[in-house]
Amino acid sequence: MSGKVDAIITDGFTGNVFLKTMEGFGKLVKRTLTESLKRNIFSIIAALPSMPAIKRFSKMLDYKEYGGALFLGVKRPVVKAHGSSDEYLFYFTIKQAEQFAKARAVDIMIEEFEKTNENR
């Protein structure tokens, strides 16, 4: 959560548990913050100047902004979308797959893994 990690590599089950936990935590934070800010007229008025920052924070926690997860062990980019994907999430997943393809992400990973294996 500190932003120091670029990728997490895990098996499907553990990765799914992690993702579901993070999604649930994000929803909890968003719901709790919204309820706190709407508690009464004073908290609503006090929150108004902070709304741009709150919206940015909310967008950061929205898993729909991040597309899907890249599958490893395949020769071309395969990106798994969320099970409850709507058109908005599906759009970002397609854009993400397109970026992986343009960046040759899978080819570069294969090359790097082969270098690692040669050095053993």
Tell me the per-residue pLDDT of 31-55, one tens digit each, with 9 for 90 and over.
Answer: 898 888 888 999 889 888 988 888 8
The dihedral built from the CA positions of residue 92, 97, 103 and 108, taken in this order, carries a sign that is: positive
User: From residue 59, how far is each of 26, 30, 95 by CA, in Å?
Assistant: 10, 10, 17
pTM of the model: 0.56
| Percent over 90 (pLDDT), the chain | 5
The residue written with tokens 């909890």 in the block is 28
